[in-house]
Each structure stands twice: as C-alpha cells, then as structure tokens.
Amino acid sequence: MANRSNDRNWDATQHYKNAAVAKDYDRVRFSSTAGRVFNNQEKRVIRECFQDIPRDTVILDIPCGTGRLAEALLGSGLRVYGADISAEMLDVANERLAGYGGRFTTEVMDAFKLTGSERQFEAALCARVLMHFPLETQIKFLRGVAAVTRKRIVINHSLSSPYQRFRRWVKVLLGHQKSAGYPITNSEIKRLLGESGLAEVKRRRINALISEAVYIVAEKIR
Ligand SMILES: C[S@@+](CC[C@H](N)C(=O)[O-])C[C@H]1O[C@@H](n2cnc3c(N)ncnc32)[C@H](O)[C@@H]1O
C-alpha cells in the first residue's frame, strides 16, 4: 500500500480529505494480483473476527474509508455504521454500498474527539489507521473508539518483530515501496490495548512470512 506515514509531514487525518485520493484509494492498493489476493484474505479474516456476533448487530467501522471492509461485514449479515474524518472517503463508501440501503449509514467523525460521547456500539472495527501514528497518538485514537464501544474491538496493525524488521531492511535495500510508519512490537500492543481499557482475546495473521499485518480481537475490560 502506498504509504507516506514515515514522512513526518504526512498527516493521515488530512491526506484522505481529497476527492481524487478517495476515488483512487482501492485501485492504487488492491488492483494488482497480489493486492486482490491480500484484499480477499483480509476481508475473510475480518468476517471471522466478528463471526460470533449476532447478525443484525450494528458494527462501528472507524475509519470506514471507502467501505472496503464494511462491505465484507454487510455481506455477512451485519449492519455497519461507517465513520471517518474524511467526507470524501465516505462519499465513495456510500456510492459503493448504496445497495445495502439502511443497513449501512455513515457519519463524518473524528476518533480523537469521541471520549465523553453518549453514543454506544456493541462492537467496532478499527483497521489500517493506527500504524500511521506514533504510539501515544495511537492510544488516544483507540481510547476514542473504546469510549463508544461496549464490548469488542477488532484492530489491525503492522507487527514489528525481529523477522519483520529484517524483512523491512531487505525491502529498503531492494528499493521497495515504504512500509507503514509506526509498526508495533508485542509489548507495545499490550500497552496500546491496556491503556485503551482493552485486553487481547485472540489474534490472526495473513501470510506471516510475507506480511506484517496482524488482526487482534480485543474486549473491553473497563
Ligand atoms: C488507510 S485508510 C483505511 C480505511 C479502511 N479502514 C480500510 O481498511 O480500507 C485510513 C482512514 O483513516 C481516516 N482517518 C484518519 N484520521 C482519522 C480520525 N482522527 N478519525 C476518523 N478517521 C480518521 C482517513 O480519513 C482514512 O479514510
């Protein structure tokens, strides 16, 4: 995925507030053969992370982006409340998911401003965003999501293990695309979850040898 979050001037909260960026989001990342395979695997894993939740539950998808993963949840019978700081990304999502009618609704929302909100969802998905911020900011983001969620939060992240750090080093040598700016170690995952009032229940990986992606099912502990 094209990613400039290790450029300190790149700002994930602003970058996607652009109609051209939003329109191109899926094509740029997921239209190659490898991209299509990864996208399908990721959607399968996300569906599995919510498989024991009663159908018809409303899942908060924040950030929803273009509705890529919301589509997977809607397809499995769940309802989705798609929230994102970018109205442009939500426009693409609304167009894509219009066929789901009232099962999919959206709202422009800033995850950093959710603490103290009266709103409550049973479960939430928080995908492909935390790795764009330094750890302290990730904690603020996830605390916001936890403030409006009663029980389960599924996050994805980029795992920083000795093997994955070696892989990154090789990728840089080979001149590959830059990876996410703020991958996270296992002890940092514990801190991120703990300081957001969450505990890990289980985790999933996709192609651990060739991908940093880690999917964590967490539940509220307070
Ligand atoms: C890489 S996209 C991921 C979208 C989607 N989760 C996916 O996996 O396709 C990151 C999204 O985070 C959104 N975002 C960034 N900061 C945010 C914030 N403070 N509150 C809500 N959304 C935010 C951006 O607008 C963008 O749509």
- The SS3 call for residue 44 is helix
Q: Residue 178: its pLDDT value, please?
A: 74
Question: 16 CB less than 6 Å from ligand 1?
Answer: yes
Residue 1 has a pLDDT of 38
Is residue 88 lining ligand 1, measured as CB closer than 6 Å? no
Rounded to the nearest angstrom, the distance between the alpha carbon of 17 and the centre of ligand 1 is 10
User: For position 2, what pLDDT does the model report?
Assistant: 40
Superfamily for 12-220?
Vaccinia Virus protein VP39 (3.40.50.150)
The secondary element (H helix, E strand) that includes residue 199 is strand 198-205
Residue 122 confidence (pLDDT)? 97
Q: Which residue has the higher pLDDT, 117 or 94?
A: 94
Q: Quick check: CB of 30 below 6 Å from ligand 1?
A: no
Give 64's contacts (C-beta < 8 A, 6+ positions apart). 70, 80, 82, 83, 84, 89, 90, 93, 106
Q: How confident is the model at residue 6 (pLDDT cuts 50, 70, 90)?
A: low
pTM of the model: 0.95
Task: Give dist(CA 124, CA 153) in Å, integer.
Answer: 5
> In this structure, what DSSP letter does residue 159 have?
B
- Among protein residues, the one with the nearest Cα to ligand 1's atom 4 is 65
The count of C-alpha atoms lying within 13 angstroms of the C-alpha of 9, restricted to the half-sphere facing its C-beta, is 0
Are 69 and 61 in contact by the 8 Å Cβ rule? The answer is yes
Q: What is the mean pLDDT of residues 88-106?
A: 98
At 8, the pLDDT band (50, 70, 90 cuts) reads: confident
Q: Copy the structure tokens of residue 11.
A: 């700002």
Q: What is the pLDDT of residues 26-82, one digit of tens each?
A: 999 999 999 999 999 999 999 999 999 999 999 999 999 999 999 999 999 999 999
- Residue to mutate (ligand 1; options 80, 84, 113, 179; most atoms within 8 A of CB): 84
CA 70 to ligand 1 center in whole angstroms: 13
Task: Check: CB of residue 31 under 8 Å from CB of residue 2.
Answer: no
